[in-house]
Amino acid sequence: MSRSALRYYKQKTGYRCPRRELDPSNDVPWTLTRMLLHPALTPLIAPAYELFCADMSRAGREAVLHRITNALHDGAVLSVLYPKPADVAKRKGAK
Tell me, yes or no, whether 61 lies in a domain: yes
Q: What angle (nearest 5°) sits at the alpha carbon of residue 18, between those of residues 33 and 77?
A: 40
Residue 7 lies in a domain: no
- Distance of alpha carbon 68 from alpha carbon 83, whole angstroms: 20
pLDDT tens for 12-34 read 877 666 666 566 678 898 889 88
H runs (alpha helix) in the chain: 3-13, 27-36, 45-53, 58-73, 75-81, 85-91
Under the banding of pLDDT at 50, 70 and 90, the label for residue 50 is: very high
Give a yes or no: residue 33 inside a domain.
yes
pTM of structure: 0.64
Asked whether residue 15 is domain-assigned, the answer is: no
Domain-located, residue 38: yes
Number of structural domains (the chain) is 1
Q: Give a yes or no: residue 8 inside a domain.
A: no
Q: How far apart are CA 7 and CA 11, in angstroms?
A: 6
Q: What is the DSSP letter of 21?
A: T
For residues 30-53, b (16+ Cβ closer than 10 Å) or e, as one string? bbbbebeeeeeeeeeeeeebeebb
Q: Domain range spanning residue 45?
A: 20-91
Q: Is residue 1 part of a domain?
A: no
Q: Decide if 34 is inside a domain.
A: yes
Residue-wise pLDDT for 82-91, tens only, equals: 878 776 666 6
